[in-house]
Structure 1
Amino acid sequence: MIVVDKGNVSIVNRSGARVLADCRYLEEIRIVAGPERGKVQQDWKPCYLSGLAVHPPTGRWAVAAVLMDGTVRMEVAGRDVVLPTDKAGRRKAGDFLILGDRNGVVAVTPGNTEMWTTDGTYRSQQPTAFTEDGARVLVNASNSSMCQWWSWSFGPRPGGLRVLPPGATDGNCNQLVPGEPRTVLKHQRDGIRIATLDPTGTKPWKVARALRQERRGMEMALVLGDTLVFYREGAQHPESGVCDESRPGTYRRIELSTGEERVWETLEGECYTKDFIMASARRRTVYYLKGKDPTDGGVRLFEYALDSGTPRELDVESLFGMLDISPDGQTLLLFTYRQGLVLYDVDSGSVVPVGGMSKDGTARLLAPR
């Protein structure tokens, strides 16, 4: 697997861990009051890395490095990175994209220059998925009100092109499922639409006409085959304006061929967002969290199979979160409070401890070699 933790990107296998990229930045703080007024303090710190995407067959990976306030230098794999500035020489804020493979770093790029700002706002660039052949990586570029998608070529000099313009979906963006060529867009004016990704990553996505379903309250919608699954928030009380627990949130599915919509689980007494955290296109299953385990304080993990129409709780102790699913959908990569990283077989229920990461890190599975 590829693991990102404490400023490092590492490859982990049966032989142990090997660092592929280390990222650090030099923070400079100028003291403006007190007995040390006027002094400048400098300290090297590990980068904050996020948005890990991996191409399992080739071992290619991409991650975002957030340029933190006070940064005066940044190094990736021992090499200085040029920090973007405006015409007046002021340092801009934004994310670098770091691309690599099993051998180390291939490229570092500021990505879309539109996403770098000096006005105090922050716009993120998050690598999310690779095209099927691993030639390009799809990057979610967004802020709180806007989302767009870019496709970047994988190589020493990455080239980017926009595949979904701003305004096609709202600031909450949309979820991509590995192996699924379509995604759900939500928009204040245009409602709910399905977009089909170009498989090569070199052409704009094709956006279909709006569905009849209401956008408001629809959260974490995704498509698996001909079925759209999502969470519908509960209703607000007409007088108090807070959650009306008598009309709770629901998990739902829509058959796109017929337009039929039905509820497959109601969360009694709960109104607000419950995420689908992952989905498997191969097995047509979705995974979601619901409540706390009273015995160990971990969250409870559930699997819903679209073909059988039944949810089931997975027997995982002390779960902190879910990180990835193997391409065949059989193995889940989980992080638990007790054992750290573990591999969970959804058919047998067996657990294999892996370790090698803190709860603040993230990881993705690779294909066996």
Structure 2
Amino acid sequence: MTAAVNASTEVADTDLAELRRDVRAFLADELERGTFEPSCDSWMTGCDPEFSRRVAERGWLGMTMPTEYGGHGRSPLERFVVTEEMLAAGAPVAAHWIADRQMAPSIRNNGTEVQKRRYLPGIAAGTMFIAIGMSEPDSGSDLASIRTRAVDLGDRWRISGTKVWTTQAHHSHAMVVLARTDGQAGDRQQGLSQFIVDLPHSDIEIRPIRSIDGDAHFNEVIFHDAEISADALLGQRGAGWAQVMGELAYERSGPERYLSTIPLLRAWADELRRSGATESQRTTLGQLAARAWALRQMSWSVAGELAAGRKPDVLAAMVKDLGSSFEGDLVEAIRASSGTIARRGGGDRFATLLAGGVLNSPAFTLRGGTNEILRGIVARGLGIR
């Protein structure tokens, strides 16, 4: 881990610092023009396609993709800087987030040449948003127990089944679906394959799932014997499990796993500067800032591992476990220490951010794998039985 930090620091001294200044200037301009209000969990709930397109115009989507597919050939460390600043500002990045974070690398690594040229340029341009169809009803975190099935009809596939908790499916142009193509449910990881399914589709029903705050960024997606072309298969038939595990390293390692509630921490720090802080509040603020910085260093190390071409699955699981716990702890610590009543309305920016953190925090340790699942990954990776 230390080697990764040292390697990434060598890059950060020059180009990364300039890039960070550019992103901050862009975000300051967006805020001044009133294009968005900072929010907690903005990478899940803050969907603004026009904002995503403006980010793409700056060359900040598809950053690590090859230029031949519309990308910019930049490093994971440069992409880390951009995503870190977007999250810290609470910017509305949900429209492009999943496509840029993990679907682009998956299509780049596993897709056919036709698939790469069809989907990657749109992701980089902020005009192609892609959802993930993994979770299913009654499966919990047991992804290997999925029941969605894809039947090979020769020149096409027929998919039947249901996916759930599918983020931003209603705004997406395509969906990468994990389905069983061979064997039975008891075969677990064997016989699973992935497909890129274009949306909308006449035989695919997308139903919104309303969260406790009334918003609907999750969906239930039902495949009513939906037929898709044979060339929708992503990667190798039967290799779906291995491909998904590769994608999860990107999903679990990013700064969104500890920065979802940082806009609230920044707003509270501003409140304390204006009104004065008690010794207890200063202590709480310092403890939260220290934990955030430690997690940032861990996540930066994972980005360094990715930049070096390695697969930091165990490190990514550690970041996700510790980071998602921190996000919830931050909300509770600020709520207890500030004495502020969380309110969604009324014009108090800090109270609104606190309300967003409170309402979204139950999902922090569930999405992307529960903490229990992640600890199992870490234990196995460390050889602990």
TM-score, normalised by the number of residues in structure 2: 0.23
The answer to which structure has the higher helix fraction is 2
Q: Of the two, which has the highest radius of gyration? A: 1
